[in-house]
Amino acid sequence: MSLVRNTFFSTTMALSLLLSDALYIAFAQQAPTGDLNGNWVAQNVNNTEGTVRSTYFNLKYESGKITGTIRTTQFFYTIKESTGGPEGFTLIATMPDGRNERRVQYEGKLVGDELRIGRRTRPDAPITEMIAKRAPAGEGAMPARIDPPARHKVPYNGLAKTPPMGWNSWNKFAGRVDDATVRAIADAMASNGMKEAGYVYVNIDDTWEAGRDAKGEIQTNKKFPDMKALADYVHKKGLKLGIYSSPGLNTCAGYEGSYGHEEQDARTFARWGIDYLKYDWCGARTFYTDEEMPAIYQKMGDALLKTGRPIVYSLCQYGRLDVWKWGPEVGGNLWRTTGDIRDTWDSMTGIGFRQNELAQYAMAGHWNDPDMLEIGNGGMTDTEYKTHLSLWAMLAAPLLAGNDLRQMSPETLAILTNREVIAVDQDKLGKQGSRAWKSGDQEIWTRQLSGGDMAVAFFNRAKDEAKISVKWSEISVPAKRKARDLWLHQNIDVSAPDFSATVAGHGVVLLRVSGK
């Protein structure tokens, strides 16, 4: 018996040695040192959550030219230009992105059988080198494209009758968001007066995702050990939980997207107890043109409805293809109208004051989304943050706080919970405000409210204090009404046919004018 076993062992060992020798020789022949040809992968493991990000270089080196593709997790580029060879080369690769083109530049060289390669973001920027190793042919290749479905109208889900209010993790935490932070944010929101003021959604943005299991079920990474338990926790506080995904293979931050798994993911989200989905185009641009966006968003709109769970549907594709014209048809409750906001006066006002033409597209259940709030993140003054909230309220914009609710100044909390300003935002008529008057850096915006009231905002976009004087008739506000200053919380006299407001630099005077 033992003899048999030994013979068996030695035979298999010899065989496997032979095999590995043969493989080694084949490999060596196929890829002698100095050969750029083949598929290469550089991997970068994020140790906080164990996610692996891979960059693939599928290269062909022929007649002094390098061709092929580069995949950086979510994006697939085609090499368009190259100079040099194994001893040192530069690659320029591009991919279509709607009407634009994305371009990347890599520089590298072969050292032994390793590709030392790095991306140059600007001509003068230093390169962060990564080491790419040989990968099996086909690994990391772009999967087949799934054709968009035929268009039809997705029925309204009955949600977001007023603009959604809550919190989102991205502006403050980006990739650092985790279960403990979300719980603590929910605790804060439920106890600091925000919940009473109307904030209800606690939304996890990108970076919660891991890969998929054998059945294709999306997994959470180490930062979120149990999404269902987290949802239960948030629900017990009387709040709702939101999540994030992409119609692409990967999200903007390079995490797992819903491509080819739309219905399955919608069911998973429903099972976890998710109440809100932000669906971010990002990786989808690899497969689809902008013109195909509506069909792709419709797919998830259908999938969410089919779960039977009320899930607010937030489209995030940066306002491309006039999304406000088709957002409601694909089941969207809100749609981003712009690129990402930053915590600066220029970014916030650049976005906010550009929304004028979109007013007609907002209505109960379907909102323009000029992006999340930056109030309390430190890049603007309290005066500027008051302008931020006032402008978003005039725009009937979703109010998703983007700061650390666990530790904020009393001023920040007071701004975020100004009920009179929130009442303007949440007005049930659902009519978005627009610009009524402008002179240089001073603007007056008006918004029709329910019950015949009107919100009137005197914005001063200049650095220095300014006096804004206007006749009520010039801005179509009927005279002889009652008015209230929504930041001073005082009634004011507007009985005269004209009105003057002294407005701080970068500040606002926001009035609610009422009475017949």
Interface ranges with ligand GLA (CB under 6 A): 170, 205-206, 251-253, 280, 316, 340
Sheet holding 508-514, edge to edge: 434-439, 442-448, 454-460, 508-514, 482-485, 490-493
Torsion of CA 314, 316, 321, 323, to 10 degrees: 20
264 by Cβ neighbours in 10 Å (0-12 / 13-18 / 19+) ranks as middle
Q: Which is nearer to ligand GLA, 172 or 512 (CB)?
A: 172
Report the nearest approach of ligand GLA to the CB of residue 364 (Å). Answer: 24
3-state helix, strand and coil shares in percent for the chain, rounded to the nearest 5: 30, 30, 35
Lookup: tokens for 349: 């006002």
How far CA 218 is from CA of 37, 72, 117, 266, in Å, comes to: 34, 21, 31, 10
Q: Is 425 a catalytic residue?
A: no
Write down the least CB distance from residue 327 to ligand GLA, Å: 16
Determine the Cα–Cα distance for residues 460 and 465; give it in Å rounded to an integer. 8
The answer to whether 115 and 98 are in contact (CB under 8 A) is: no
Give whichever of 178 and 205 is closer to ligand GLA, judged by the CB atom. 205
Question: Does the annotation count 340 as an active-site position?
Answer: yes
HSE, CB side, 13 Å, CA atoms: give it for residue 34: 3
Nearer to ligand GLA, 206 or 343 (CB): 206
> C-beta of 333: minimal distance to ligand GLA in Å?
16
Residue among 178, 179, 265, 280 flagged as catalytic: 280
Q: Which is nearer to ligand GLA, 48 or 491 (CB)?
A: 48
Task: Find the shortest distance in angstroms from Cβ 337 to ligand GLA.
Answer: 11
Closer to ligand GLA by Cβ: residue 76 or 244: 244
Q: What whole-number distance in Å separates Cα of residue 397 and Cα of residue 419?
A: 15
| DSSP-assigned letter for residue 156 | P
Least spacing, CB of residue 316 vs ligand GLA, in Å: 5
Minimal distance, residue 222 CB to ligand GLA, in Å: 18
**Residue nearer to ligand GLA on the CB measure, 251 or 390:** 251
DSSP secondary structure of 101-135: EEEEEEEEEEETTEEEEEE-SSTTSPPEEEEEEEE
Q: Where are the beta strands (DSSP E) in 234-381?
A: 240-245, 276-280, 312-316, 334-336, 367-369
Q: Catalytic residue among 97, 290, 340, 441, which?
A: 340
List, by residue number, the catalytic residues: 280, 340
